[in-house]
Amino acid sequence: MHNSIKPKVTLVGAGPGDPELLTLKGVRALAEANVVLYDALANDEILSHAPKNAIRIFVGKKIGNHAYTQDQINQLIVDNALTYGNVVRLKGGDPFIFGRGSEEIEFAESFGIETVIVPGISSVVAVPASQGISITKRGVSESFWAITGTTSDRKLSADVALAAQSSATVVIVMGMHKLSQIVELFQKENKGNLPVAIIQNGTTAEEKMGVGTVNSIVEIVKQQNLSSPAVIVLGEVVKESHKLKGFYEEFLSKEIAQ
């Protein structure tokens, strides 16, 4: 290691996909990077903020691609910081919301490496907002749950059942493979008519959305061929969206007619 190299790791949240939803602080951190370790980002344009000669290493988990284990990623972060100096670890959304960012920072700090965290705009709030869904709204919802659909042992989070009992807006990420289980938990609480929106590739040019109710959403997903990555929003606030009001007014009038 050259004596003038000062190892540093900056964890940067890349935001939900739209390259303009990267923070100014994130842009500045990338501009100073010697190495960028990046996930399967919704938008590679974000990488263009790094210097041309910066080393770019893809460490994300894309289906069909070789996926590094978390331990290997931790080691790569440290090795590159010690060898090249300034490492930017770029993660989708916010690095501390379902992103395992804290594990990476703890590992780097165990080597005495300076660390900095640059928060990112999380898809939990930004993706619903892009469709006019305000996840809290006075008189409608005074809180929200943000839940990962799939826990580390590949099961549905037990928090979903608790969330279904509350009046809060429920936002589930990484939950598309568990959609039928999620629906069952809400039906158990007699919430079959609760509005639901599923937004795929939110804030990007490929954004797709399906809306309905707990009872109808599985069928809508099939009809519209929606898949991961998607954000599932369950709550009365969905029908408050200025973009979706018409759909729910029409939907309710059909329900009453039946």
- The answer to whether 227 and 200 have CB atoms below 8 angstroms apart is yes
Of the residues 6, 61, 62, 188, only one is catalytic, namely 61
Known catalytic residue at 61: yes
Q: Which of 8, 18, 94, 174 is catalytic?
A: 174
First to last CA, the chain: 74
Query: In what helix (H) or strand (E) does residue 233 lie, and over which residues does it extend?
Result: strand 230-234
Dist. CA 40–CA 140, nearest whole Å = 35
**Which member of 18, 39, 91, 191 is catalytic?**
39
The answer to whether 176 is a known catalytic residue is no
CB 244 within 8 A of CB 131: yes
* Per-position DSSP letters for 152-208, written without gaps between them: TTSSBPTHHHHHHHSSSEEEEES-GGGHHHHHHHHHHTT-TT-EEEEEESTTSTT-E
Q: Strand 208-213 relative to strand 195-200: parallel, antiparallel, unpaired?
A: antiparallel
Burial of 235 (0-12, 13-18, 19+ CB in 10 A): buried
CA–CA distance, 156 with 149 (Å, rounded to integer):
5
For residue 224, the one-letter residue type is Q
Distance CA 67, CA 197 (A): 30
Q: Hey, which residues are catalytic here?
A: 39, 61, 174
